[in-house]
Amino acid sequence: MTMHSGEVYDTGRTERLVVRVGTAESGGQRLLADLYVRPGGGRVPPHVHPTIEEAFTVIHGALGIWVAGKTRVLTAGEGRRIPPGTPHSWWSVGSVEARVLFDVHPAGRFEEQWRRFMGLQQDGKTNAKGVPSFLQITAILRAFPDVGHMAGLPLILQRALFALLAPIARARGYEGRHEAYLTRAPSATVDLEPLPDYLRNRT
């Protein structure tokens, strides 16, 4: 199942995605969306996308971002592009919901993995910050080595660790693919809010 323009995907815990350009319209090449991150949300563990580029531009609120060892806070009008292969992390800053224009390409496999993390949050299988257990994370990363891996640990060691933990994860019921999450319908469909003038050339 692919994402379409105007669809809303709410994790139920930390974030909400309102699609502007979906994988349906772009043939899997791009996902452009308004990402709404609730206060305290995000806290994505440091990770690396080998072949995927991400970009964040804050529309409202503030977003903390860690890129290759350097931390800064982005506020309205500020953005950051994350080239492939760059260690990074991000999180909401402050007491108000952050609204961020989020751009990913290529996006087909990224969407597949993101849907799994979203489904786990919706089903209450994460902590309050939306982070699954370590065994669950390793199962998903092992199923999607082309999408991303953890930062800070050599890839060869990660693969060895994931292979070692795989039987334990399976025995405890942790899956890497969760095929049912691929066909889960969006939370809603809405008319898109106009972007600020300085961002209209991004669509």
pLDDT by position in tens, the chain (length 203)? 799 999 999 999 899 999 999 999 999 999 999 999 999 887 788 999 999 999 999 999 999 999 999 999 999 999 999 999 999 999 999 999 999 999 999 999 999 999 999 999 999 999 888 889 999 999 999 999 999 999 998 999 999 999 999 999 999 999 998 889 999 999 999 999 999 888 877 77
Contacts of 179 (CB under 8 A, 6+ apart): none
Torsion of CA 138, 126, 41, 96, to 10 degrees: 170
pTM of the full structure: 0.93
Domain 7-202 bears CATH identifier 2.60.120.10? yes
Provide the CA 164 distance to its chain's centre, in angstroms: 26
Spatial distance between the Cα atoms of 117 and 11, rounded to a whole number of angstroms: 8
Closest CA to 100 of 191, 18, 25, 3: 18
pLDDT at residue number 95: 93
CA distances from 82 to 47, 49, 189, 198 (A): 11, 9, 29, 20
Task: Check residue 1 and give its pLDDT.
Answer: 75
Looking at residue 171, what is its pLDDT? Answer: 95
* Half-sphere CA count of 52, side-chain side, radius 13 A: 28
The confidence score (pLDDT) of residue 179 equals: 87
SS3 51: coil
Query: pLDDT at position 159, please?
Result: 92
Find the length of the chain.
203
Q: Does an H or E element contain 137, and which?
A: helix 134-143
